[in-house]
């Protein structure tokens, strides 16, 4: 019996020593991005192995004459760390969804998963990839020509963009202005328009008073570097100065270089009142060309480039992966996880606003809990030592009695 006590106490010391190692590892990783804590679990060894009672008869006992404790580790994969802002363009945190992981691929095309979103770029053989801190390539759904549409199959996120975006053509415009009721025979107004090969040209609106008619003006257009067709019209105002007709018209521009514009122009806010002429407000949907300024990840998980004209160019959308049983993922070194036969089906997660850009998910380590566990483990180890010492003293007494 005393020898069994040695075995039980020894397994207890070994198990508690291992538990202390896990506590120490959790505390050591208190500042590790995306770290998930490990917890040591215990189980009894009582009756865990049968003992042969009679070799001749082949009868085995249903219970072993041993006792003690075994242990295994459990990673708290679904615990989320605190998300903090970093201000770095390629940092991203998953917030509000514990069953979502960034998807990575190594040089052998093996797939791994992580919650650590401290990404950066690296150029290999002339191609710039978005990578994790271990060099693995971040996976995402590629964009079609920089647009806001994405493919269905995840692949390496490649950072490739035009240095300059061409102008965005003007298709709609709205002007608020006043045509003087008296004192002038003509009045002109300027609207800036854009075309793919024209980075801001002035479209002139010219009002000429119609002789013999009150509150009537002939409207025509001109533009440098092109001609305006099919837009000449007569504009009528009421005696109170409100516009009667037309409210809208189409302005077709034929540029000398072969480019064209068709602008839907809204003039419903124009007035004919006493006073000077003047344009108070022009709104149009065209934009000038833009120079590349920076790349970043936005709140929808889209990796994109930003340009000086306010436009963006999309590279890809981060591929977030979930599992039927995410708690069964196999933890690997470097805050990586690997799928196995018990994680169930893998699926892509719709982000639904779970990406927090320019932020990182911190370690899930709770210092107070770990220190509490440290005290508990230390006491348990000490008690096992005392059991071992007590068994040793009992065995010594038995030895003395037989001597």
Confidence (pLDDT) at 400:
76
Confidence (pLDDT) at 67:
80
Q: How far apart are CA 19 and CA 375, in angstroms?
A: 11
Mean pLDDT by 10 residues, the chain (403 residues): 75 93 95 95 73 57 68 93 96 93 97 98 96 97 92 96 95 96 92 94 96 94 91 92 95 94 95 83 94 96 96 96 96 94 94 89 95 94 89 79 73
CATH number at residue 214: 2.60.98.20
Domain that holds residue 385: 2-66+369-402
Confidence (pLDDT) at 403:
64
Q: Using one digit for the tens of pLDDT, what is the confidence trace for 89-124?
A: 999 999 988 999 999 999 999 999 999 999 999 999
Residue 201 included in any domain: yes
Confidence (pLDDT) at 47:
59
Q: How far apart are CA 216 and CA 181, in angstroms?
A: 10
Confidence (pLDDT) at 349:
93
Confidence (pLDDT) at 62:
53
Residue 325 included in any domain: yes
Closest by CA to 352, choosing from 284, 392, 300, 292, is: 300
| The domain boundary residue, chosen from 247, 269, 284 | 284
Confidence (pLDDT) at 4:
73
The residues facing 111 across adjacent strands are 105
Confidence (pLDDT) at 399:
76
Query: Is residue 48 located within the same domain as residue 90?
Result: no
| The domain boundary residue, chosen from 240, 261, 284 | 284
Measured between alpha carbons, how far is residue 200 from residues 36, 168, 171 in Å? 54, 10, 13
Confidence (pLDDT) at 3:
65
Query: Is residue 193 located within the same domain as residue 270?
Result: yes
Residue 75 included in any domain: no
Interior/surface letters 319-339, b for 16+ CB within 10 angstroms, e for the rest: bbbbbeebebbebeeebbbeb
Count up the domains in the chain and report the number.
Answer: 3
Q: How far apart are CA 54 and CA 208, in angstroms?
A: 120
Confidence (pLDDT) at 277:
75
């Amino acid at each position: 019996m005393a020898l069994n006590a040695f075995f039980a106490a020894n397994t207890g010391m070994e198990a508690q020593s291992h538990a202390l190692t896990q506590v120490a590892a959790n505390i050591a990783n208190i500042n590790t991005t995306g770290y998930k804590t490990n917890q040591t679990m215990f189980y009894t060894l009582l009756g865990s192995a049968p003992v042969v009672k009679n070799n001749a008869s082949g009868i085995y006992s249903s219970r072993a004459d041993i006792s003690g404790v075994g242990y295994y580790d459990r990673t708290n994969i679904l615990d989320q760390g605190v998300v903090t802002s970093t201000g770095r363009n390629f940092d991203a945190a998953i917030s509000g969804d514990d069953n979502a992981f960034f998807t990575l691929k190594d040089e052998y095309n093996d797939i791994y998963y992580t919650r650590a979103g401290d990404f950066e770029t690296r150029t290999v053989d002339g191609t710039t990839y978005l990578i994790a801190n271990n060099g693995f390539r971040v996976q995402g759904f590629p964009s079609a020509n920089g647009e806001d549409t994405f493919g269905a199959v995840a692949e390496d996120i490649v950072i490739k963009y035009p240095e300059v975006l061409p102008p965005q053509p003007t298709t709609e415009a709205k002007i608020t202005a006043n045509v003087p009721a008296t004192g002038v025979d003509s009045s002109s107004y300027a609207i800036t328009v854009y075309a793919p090969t024209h980075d801001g040209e002035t479209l002139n609106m010219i009002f000429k008073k119609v002789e013999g008619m009150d509150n009537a003006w002939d409207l025509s257009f001109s533009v440098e570097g092109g001609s305006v067709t099919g837009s000449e019209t007569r504009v009528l105002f009421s005696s109170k100065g409100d516009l009667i007709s037309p409210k809208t018209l189409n302005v077709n521009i034929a540029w000398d270089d072969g480019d064209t514009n068709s602008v839907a122009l809204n003039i419903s806010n124009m007035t004919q009142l006493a006073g000077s002429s003047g344009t108070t407000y022009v709104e149009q949907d065209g934009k000038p060309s833009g120079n590349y300024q920076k790349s970043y990840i936005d709140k929808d998980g889209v990796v994109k480039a930003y340009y000086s004209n306010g436009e963006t160019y999309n590279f890809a959308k981060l591929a977030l992966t979930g599992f039927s049983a995410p708690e069964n993922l196999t933890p690997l070194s470097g805050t990586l996880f690997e799928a196995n036969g018990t994680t169930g089906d893998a699926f892509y997660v719709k982000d639904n606003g779970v990406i927090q850009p320019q932020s990182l998910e911190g370690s899930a380590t709770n210092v107070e809990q770990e220190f509490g566990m440290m005290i508990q483990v230390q006491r348990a180890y000490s008690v096992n030592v005392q059991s071992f010492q007590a068994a040793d003293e009992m065995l010594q007494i038995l030895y003395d009695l037989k001597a």
